[in-house]
Structures are given as C-alpha cells and as structure tokens.
C-alpha cells in the first residue's frame, strides 16, 4: 500500500445550493485546483447521514469533506444546523471508533465563494498529503474482509 | 438495466483537458453500461438527437451525460430523454466542465477524475426510479394581510385581474400609516387626497372581501392550498345594520376617554369611535376598556341613539375560515418607541431627548398629524403644550436608525425625505419660523428627491447642521437643544420651541409572530426575509407567500406600491395555472418499518410530516406512522438522515443511491 505514486483521495459531500454552486463558480472562473476531490451532491447537508462518511472511509477515502451553506443561509432554513449538530456528536464517535477526526473536514462555502471553495479543497488535499494515506481503516477492512456492499 | 453514457466535449471546454474519447471508452466497460459515446456539443440539436437515437436503437432505460453542471443543462437532457421515452428522472449528469476540465490542467489526472465522476453517476442511476412530477391544484384566491397602501395596492391588482381577494386589516379602518400623513414628498401631494379614493375602490371592488378589525389567527397548508383562520374581533356594532351616520359617536358621553390612535395620542377620542372621518368602512368600534357599559352596565346612550339598532353589546369575536392559494404579507411598520417609560419600552431609547417627558418633543408621525389639515390643529402648526405656533423647530434625524448602540444598524430610508418635507411644510405655514435639521448624512436617492432636499435648504431656508444632539432639556419654556456641528467643529445650542424626532422604522407589532405562523424567515430586527435579495425580492422561501411594503424593510410609498404590485404579479403568475407541477424529489415513508418515533417531525423545517394512524381491515388500531405531505416537503432530506430506522427516504437521493455513489469511488 506504500505507493510512491500515491495521490490522496478526498470524498466531498456538498449541498446543492451553496457549495455545489460555489464549486460551479470556481469552475466558471477557471480557478485551478488539485484534482483529488470527488464531489457527491446532496440537496442539503442535513441529508448527510454520518454513515455516508464511514462508508467513504471504508471505501478508501483518505479524507472526507462536508460543506454546505453558511449557518443562517440554509436553502432549507435549518438543514445545516442539523448537520452541524450531528457533526459535533459524530466527531467524538469517530475518535471513539479509532478514526482520526483530523481526516474529516467541515466547511461553509456559499454559492458566491468560488475562491473559498478552491482554498478549502486545496487546503484539505495539502493537509492529507502531509498526513499520508489513511491506512488504518483500509487495513482493518481487509483483515475482516468486509463485503463491499 | 441498460445505461447509455454520453460524453460532451463542449467544444474545447471539456475536450481540451479531458480525453473525452478515452472516458467514453472506459465508460462502455462499466457494468451496466450498454452504450457510450462522445460528441462535440451534446446540448446542441444534433447532440440531443444522438442521445434520442441511441435510446431507441439500443433500448436504453437510463442515461448518464458527462457535460457541464447539472444547474446548466440537466433540464435540457431530461427533456430530450423524456421525448425519447426515458423517464426524465432516469437521467444523471456528471459535471465534467465546472468541476473538472475548467479547474484542472493536467490531462491524465483530469481524465481520471472524469472517469470517476462518470462512474459515480452510473452507479447512482442504477438505483434511480422513474418519477412523475407532483401535481397540486391551485385555489385562485388571495389573502392580503395588512390594509395599508401596500396591502390595498396588492389587493386591487389581484382583484383587477379577476381573482378574489380577502383583505385583512387589524385596525377598524384600512388606510394604514399613509392615511395619517399630511403631505407626501417630493410633490407635496395631500396624502389622504390620493389615498382615500384607493380605499373606497378597495371597499367597493366586487372581488375584494374586506375584513377590518380582524387578525390572522392560524395558517395551514401550502402553496396554492392555504387554509387560513381569521379572527374577526367584535366591534360591538352590527356591520350590516350600521349606516355610518355617526350619531352614536356624537352622543357618547365620555368624549375624551382614550388617546386617539389615529392622531398619535395628540388628542383623546370617545369610547365609541371611528379612527378618522374618512375611515373605510365607516363603521364605529366600541372600545370596551373605556366604555361605561362594559364597566358598570349603565349608560347605553349609543343604543338609545342608534335608529338602526346596530349597537350589539353581546357581539363576540368570530373565527372565519378561508381557503386561499396565495398570501401577500403587507403588515408594514411602526415607529421605534423612544418613550422613557420602562414598561412599554424594550429598547434602550433616547431618554436624553425627553420624548414623553416634554410635550413639545414629538415624533415624525405626530408632526404629520399636526401638519395635516384633518389633524387636531386643522393643519396649523401649533405645539402640543400651549397650542402656540413654534418659532423655532429642531428636527433630529436618525433617532434609532444607524445607531447600533441605542437603536438599529440599518437606515430607515424615509426620514431624510420626510424631515425635509416637515421643515418645508413648517416654513410654508410659519413664515417667520426657523427650522434646524440635525443630520448624519442626507440620503436622498430617488426621483426628484435630492432636488426636494435642495429646495428645502435653498428656497425655504431650512438650516441643516451636520451632527448629533446630545441632550434636550426645558428651560424657561424653551427646549434647549445641545448638539454639535461637525463641519464647523463647534458645539451648538438652540433654544427651540418644539423638537421633532425622526425615529427609526421598525416592523409592526407581532410581525415575527405572524412570520412564524406563515413559516417565513425574518431578520434579527423582525423584518421579513425575501428568498433572494437581488432576483427574488418579493418571494419568500415558503412557496405562495409574498411580501409587500415596509414589513420587508423600511421603504417609502412609491417603493411600497411597486413592491405590492410585484407581489400581486407573483400571485397572478401562480393563478395562471390550474395545477402546480413540481419536482418529485420529496421524502417518502416506509410504513412497514416506521416505528412512529417522529424524530423526523422534529427535524422537518416545513411541518411536512404528519401523524398517520394505521388500522387493520376491522378498523383496529395498529400503529401510528409518519406521513409526508408531498406538497409541503421541499426535499432537503434532513428527515432521511435523522430517521433511526431509515424508514423515511428522500426520493432521488435515497440511501442506496448515495451509497452507490460512495462505493463507486471505492478501491475494489
């Protein structure tokens, strides 16, 4: 697994209205960024089940990024507040099950913050590159041979 | 399932950084993919035809398009597929342009990412299901809350288009603050002269049902289908019998019992009253707190006087239910209370200005009444204390506005203009009088507004002093105004006869309570929030509810009228269709597994989740489960993530769809 050509894999869960659109804006503005993030679009960060994040780690993600509308700006009024509250609990749980919570990132990026999105993505990728591949979970899943689905 | 993958080059936009042909080749090998192709412009007619042809030739039942952002062309491709017989919700878009080719430079890594994005979409679409848009009927009636100029305008516009309107006003008469104004800027038109014909028009309009002295008590339902409960407060006067002759008011023995709401407390009114002579409807109200009969059971002068027998002491509040399709909120504003009295003042206030302490310190609306021909002084500028014409008036702007330490951060917008108007009206009536205006900045944006202020300064000789006032106190019958002139850099002391405070506009009482009832967000000041500040300024985030006038933010009459017409137009757009069609991305409950914990209900921001009782065929109770009202559900999916048993799922973003996307990225 210690691959010299290792490139980090970042799975990003983003809400449709703010961060996805903000990422679109980064694209329209041709703001270059590292190509390691894969976005999964959900309507709202409130839709994100903590198990999605576990599943992403299980699938080999080196980091997971969750991003939505700024607090108070949620397209669905309060979905991001639910997400934020879940995050507070889930972070503790992550540490408990042995996943370094440093692998999970949370940010608010609005539809007009293309630049911020680029900074967030690059920041996460740079941080993961420093941390190196996230092998702990991967090795564990190999050991107990969890079925993929 | 046979999936077709179509990769767009978008000219060179995608093709330059992503090897589209390679992506198509790899896609063709993905499990489930029956066909893959790349093309220069997929959204063009030939491109769309290519997809349609492939659907027919290969018998595809799901489509993945690798192109620009779904926000751009998702609709285009859904429509194309739908015309070729594939359900539009069996189409997924992989964003290869905004999220890939435009943001990366290295071709191999961009191509790798593009393949990943396609794989995500392919895996997801396997779990998509054909959906049909939700159709809900539209009740083509509107409710307008608030009978000021905004509400009247909105009601007239909707009614004029041929639809029924219920206009609800909490005061005994419509007209709002505009009916209290003397003249209007910048034309100095008499306010009542231009308003009262509109009030009468609204009253007589066959399509408008006027409900004065009434308040909205409850709102249920959703866009196109609201059920509203309106409390019709007891006037104690039978509206059908009353002719509005006013004899009862003349005969009421307690003439001066309560301060007149309409005249801003400058005079007193009797226990039975109409707010002002031009009131619409011209039907009196009994103030039960002031009336002798309701205190001691005696008097009944009005009953004896009324030839029509319209006085009805036994009349009770009535609850009226109405069904409407659109709601226009036009609850307006009130003035920031600067009174020193602590019991009715939740704000810090301006105790140093002596409002409520000195009779001759008045607010803007009180000065309107003093200057108004229909006011307590018949339009003569006389100060409240001794009814003498003041020779020196000081106007103070921004009392509460633009002052976060004592009031609010925002600008009340109209005060610069109405202060100039007040000063002008004063100078027109008291020729030898002196008018001073303390200001922070003059904000006179608007047609002929700047010119109006210049006129006040240059033609009418109003003296503008840039600076704030620190204290006002009484000395030898004069109000000593101590302030500073920041341009001259010196302290200013003026011995005024009267002071007029341009106090901040704040939302009407209970506006935030009403907003909660309607499910409309409001800001920290209580002003109702539009859905988009630039492009959707009159719509709220709750479908079918629109905003008009000063309930949204401080604004003047022309702006309020324009906003009211805009809100009416939005309601009419809604009424233009018999049924509403919306995306079927809503939550659905699996009643078999639902345990009825109703955590989803708590998570739902739209009250879309109801309780449903399940019974067996004998009518025996089985259990209570959640039920999603798909017309209310906006499709955020918060319930889905909250549900402990995963019994409520957001269609289009179900768990298995998202897990498929995540696993598409897994190293297998």
- Cα torsion B407, B411, B412, B416: sign: positive
Asked if the Cβ–Cβ distance from B120 to A38 is below 8 Å, we say: yes
Mean pLDDT computed over B24-45: 96
Q: Which positions in chain A touch B659 (Cβ < 8 Å)?
A: 52, 55, 149
Predicted confidence (pLDDT) at residue B533 exceeds the cutoff of 90: no
**Better-predicted residue by pLDDT, A149 or A79:** A79
CA dist., res. B496 & res. A78, Å (int): 52
Instruction: Give the pLDDT confidence of B105-125 residue by residue, as tens digits.
Output: 999 999 999 999 999 999 999
Predicted confidence (pLDDT) at residue A1 exceeds the cutoff of 50: no
Asked if the Cβ–Cβ distance from B99 to A32 is below 8 Å, we say: no
Average pLDDT, chain B: 94
Predicted confidence (pLDDT) at residue B181 exceeds the cutoff of 90: yes
Asked if the Cβ–Cβ distance from B116 to A38 is below 8 Å, we say: yes
A17: nearest CA in chain B? B71
What is the number of residues in chain A?
A: 149
* Lookup: tokens for A42: 């959900």
pLDDT value for A100:
85
CA dist., res. B261 & res. B475, Å (int): 30
CA dist., res. B246 & res. B284, Å (int): 8
Are A38 and B117 in contact, with CB atoms under 8 Å apart? yes
Predicted confidence (pLDDT) at residue B577 exceeds the cutoff of 80: yes
Mean pLDDT computed over B331-353: 75
Q: Which positions in chain B touch A59 (Cβ < 8 Å)?
A: 662-663, 665-667
Find the range with the poorest average confidence among B13-22, B26-35, B122-131, B627-636. Answer: B627-636
Q: Is B565 on the interface with A (CB under 8 A)?
A: no
Find the range with the poorest average confidence among A22-31, A83-92, B48-57. Answer: A83-92
Residues of A with CB under 8 A from a CB of B: 7, 9, 11, 20-21, 23-24, 26-28, 30-33, 35, 38-44, 46-49, 52, 55-56, 58-61, 75-79, 82, 86, 118, 148-149
Predicted confidence (pLDDT) at residue B344 exceeds the cutoff of 70: no
pLDDT value for B491:
97
pLDDT value for A135:
82
What dihedral do alpha carbons A6, A10, A11, A14 form, nearest 10°? -160
- Cα torsion B238, B241, B245, B250: sign: negative
* Lookup: tokens for B509: 């009482």
**Better-predicted residue by pLDDT, B450 or A97:** B450
Element (H, E) at B501: strand B498-503
- In angstroms, what separates the C-alpha of B68 from chain A's closest C-alpha? 9
ipTM over 0.90: yes
Instruction: Give the pLDDT confidence of B311-338 residue by residue, as tens digits.
Output: 999 999 999 999 999 999 999 999 987 7
Are B503 and B335 in contact, with CB atoms under 8 Å apart? yes
Average pLDDT, chain A: 88
Give Cβ neighbours of residue B299 (< 8 Å, ≥ 6 apart).
B253, B291, B292, B293
Helices and strands in chain B, H and E counts: 17, 34
Beta sheet of B3-8, edge-to-edge order: B33-39, B3-8, B62-67, B91-95
Q: Which of A27, A28, A132, A18 is nearest to A66 (CA)?
A: A18
Q: Which percentage of chain B shows pLDDT scores above 70?
A: 98
Element (H, E) at B272: strand B272-273
Residue that has been written with the tokens 């509250």 in this structure: A85
pLDDT value for B33:
97
**Better-predicted residue by pLDDT, B666 or B436:** B436
**Better-predicted residue by pLDDT, A2 or B416:** B416
Find the range with the poorest average confidence among A135-139, B138-142, B331-335, B501-505. Answer: A135-139
Asked if the Cβ–Cβ distance from B637 to A148 is below 8 Å, we say: no
Q: Which of B574, B554, B548, B575 is nearest to B151 (CA)?
A: B548
Find the range with the poorest average confidence among A82-96, B3-17, B236-250. Answer: A82-96
Going by the DSSP 8-state scheme, the letter that residue B358 receives in this structure is B
- Select the residue of B104, B650, B665 nearest A59 (Cβ to Cβ): B665
3-state secondary structure of B250: helix
* Lookup: tokens for A49: 């089940």
Alpha helices in B554-647 (DSSP H): 557-575, 599-603, 638-642
pLDDT value for A127:
95
Bridge partners, residue B273, by sequence = B285
pLDDT value for A87:
87
Confidence of residue A81 (pLDDT cuts 50, 70, 90): very high
Asked if the Cβ–Cβ distance from A149 to B103 is below 8 Å, we say: no
pLDDT value for A139:
72
Q: Which percentage of chain B shows pLDDT scores above 90?
A: 86
pLDDT value for B407:
86
Mean pLDDT computed over B166-191: 96
Which domains are seen in chain B, by residue range?
Answer: 3-125 (3.40.50.960), 141-233+317-332+508-575 (3.50.50.60), 247-305 (no CATH), 335-506 (3.50.50.60), 587-651 (3.30.70.20)
Pairing of strands B272-273, B268-269: unpaired
Instruction: Give the pLDDT confidence of B266-290 residue by residue, as tens digits.
Output: 999 999 999 999 999 999 999 999 9
pLDDT value for B447:
95
Mean pLDDT computed over B202-207: 97
- Select the residue of A21, A42, A55 nearest B71 (Cβ to Cβ): A21
Cis omega (within 30 of 0) for bond into B33: no
pLDDT value for B349:
72
Instruction: Give the pLDDT confidence of B293-310 residue by residue, as tens digits.
Output: 999 988 999 999 999 999
Q: Which percentage of chain A shows pLDDT scores above 90?
A: 60
CA dist., res. A73 & res. A82, Å (int): 13
pLDDT value for B347:
64
Confidence of residue A146 (pLDDT cuts 50, 70, 90): low
- In angstroms, what separates the C-alpha of A83 from chain B's closest C-alpha? 8
CA dist., res. B164 & res. B141, Å (int): 5
Stated pTM of the model: 0.76
Instruction: Give the pLDDT confidence of A10-65 residue by residue, as tens digits.
Output: 999 999 999 999 999 999 999 999 999 999 999 999 999 999 999 999 888 999 99
Q: What is the CA radius of gyration of chain B?
A: 32
CA angle B228, B232, B237 (to 5 degrees): 160
pLDDT value for B231:
97
pLDDT value for B569:
98
pLDDT value for B242:
95
Residue that has been written with the tokens 């600076």 in this structure: B467
* Lookup: tokens for A139: 């090795």
């Amino acid at each position: 697994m210690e691959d010299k050509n290792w490139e980090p894999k970042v799975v990003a869960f983003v809400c449709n209205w703010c961060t996805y659109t903000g990422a679109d804006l980064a694209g329209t503005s041709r703001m270059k960024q590292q190509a390691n993030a894969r976005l999964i679009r959900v309507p709202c960060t409130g839709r994100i089940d903590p198990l999605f994040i576990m599943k992403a780690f299980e699938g080999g993600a080196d980091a997971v990024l969750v991003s939505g509308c700024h607090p108070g700006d949620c397209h669905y009024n309060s979905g991001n507040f639910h997400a934020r509250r879940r995050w507070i609990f889930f972070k503790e749980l992550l540490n408990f099950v042995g996943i370094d919570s440093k692998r999970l990132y949370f940010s608010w990026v609005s539809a007009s913050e293309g630049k911020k999105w680029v900074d967030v993505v690059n920041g996460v990728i740079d941080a993961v590159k420093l941390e190196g591949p996230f092998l702990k979970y991967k090795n564990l899943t190999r050991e107990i041979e969890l079925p993929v689905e | 399932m046979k999936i077709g993958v179509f990769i767009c080059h978008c000219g060179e936009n995608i093709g330059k950084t992503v090897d589209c042909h390679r992506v198509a080749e790899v896609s063709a090998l993905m499990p489930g993919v029956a066909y893959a192709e790349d093309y220069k412009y997929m959204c063009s007619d030939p491109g769309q035809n290519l997809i349609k042809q492939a659907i027919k030739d290969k018998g595809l039942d799901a489509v993945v398009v690798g192109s620009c952002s779904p926000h751009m062309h998702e609709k285009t491709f859904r429509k194309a597929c739908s015309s070729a017989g594939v359900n539009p919700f069996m189409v997924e878009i992989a964003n290869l342009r905004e999220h890939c080719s435009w943001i990366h430079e290295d071709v191999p890594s961009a191509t790798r990412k593009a393949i990943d994005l396609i794989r995500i979409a392919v895996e997801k679409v396997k779990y998509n299901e054909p959906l049909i848009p939700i159709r809900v009927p539209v009740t083509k009636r509107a409710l307008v809350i608030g009978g000021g100029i905004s509400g009247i305008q909105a009601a007239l516009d909707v009614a004029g288009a041929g639809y029924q309107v219920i206009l609800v006003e909490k005061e005994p008469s419509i007209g709002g603050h505009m009916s209290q104004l003397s003249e209007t800027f910048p034309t100095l038109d008499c306010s009542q002269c231009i308003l009262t014909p509109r009030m009468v028009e609204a009253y007589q309009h066959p399509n408008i049902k006027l409900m004065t002295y009434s308040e909205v008590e409850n709102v249920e339902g959703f866009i196109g289908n609201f059920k509203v409960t309106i409390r019709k407060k007891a006037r104690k006067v039978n509206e059908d019998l009353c002719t509005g002759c006013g004899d009862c008011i003349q005969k009421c023995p307690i003439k001066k019992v309560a301060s007149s709401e309409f005249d801003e407390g400058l005079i007193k009114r009797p226990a039975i009253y109409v707010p002002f002579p031009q009131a619409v409807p011209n039907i009196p109200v009994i103030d039960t707190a002031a009336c002798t009969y309701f205190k001691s059971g005696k008097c009944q002068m009005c009953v004896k006087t009324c030839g029509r027998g319209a006085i009805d002491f036994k009349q009770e509040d009535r609850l009226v239910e109405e069904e409407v399709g659109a709601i226009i909120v036009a609850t307006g504003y009130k003035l920031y209370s600067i009174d020193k009295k602590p019991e009715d003042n939740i704000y810090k206030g301006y105790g140093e200005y002596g409002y409520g302490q000195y009779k001759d310190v008045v607010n803007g609306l009180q000065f309107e009444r003093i200057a108004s021909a229909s006011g307590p002084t018949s339009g003569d500028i006389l100060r409240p204390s001794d009814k003498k014409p003041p020779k020196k008036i000081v106007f103070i702007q921004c009392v509460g506005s633009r002052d976060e330490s004592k009031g609010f951060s925002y600008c009340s917008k109209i005060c610069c203009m109405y202060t100039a108007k007040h000063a002008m009206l004063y100078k027109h009536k008291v020729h030898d009088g002196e008018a001073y205006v303390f200001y922070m900045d003059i904000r006179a944006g608007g047609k002929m507004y700047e010119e109006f202020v210049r006129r006040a300064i240059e033609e009418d000789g109003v003296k503008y002093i840039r600076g704030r006032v620190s204290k006002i106190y009484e000395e030898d019958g004069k109000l000593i105004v101590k302030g500073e002139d920041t341009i001259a850099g010196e302290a200013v002391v003026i011995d005024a006869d009267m002071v007029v405070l341009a106090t901040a506009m704040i939302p009407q009482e209970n506006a935030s309570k009403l907003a909660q009832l309607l499910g409309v967000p409001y800001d920290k000041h209580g002003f109702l929030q539009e859905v988009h500040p630039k492009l959707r300024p009159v719509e709220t985030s709750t479908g079918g509810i629109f905003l008009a006038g000063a309930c949204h933010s401080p604004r003047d009459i022309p702006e309020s009228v324009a906003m009211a017409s805009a809100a009416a137009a939005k309601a009419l757009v809604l009424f233009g269709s018999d049924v509403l069609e919306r995306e079927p991305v809503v939550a659905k409950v699996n009643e078999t597994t639902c345990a009825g914990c109703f955590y989803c209900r708590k998570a739902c921001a739209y009250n879309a989740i109801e309780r449903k009782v399940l019974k067996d065929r004998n009518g025996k109770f089985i259990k209570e489960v959640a039920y999603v009202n798909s017309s209310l559900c906006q499709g955020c999916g918060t319930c889905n993530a909250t549900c402990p048993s995963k019994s409520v799922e957001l269609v289009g973003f179900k768990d298995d769809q998202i897990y498929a996307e995540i696993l598409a990225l897994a190293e297998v």
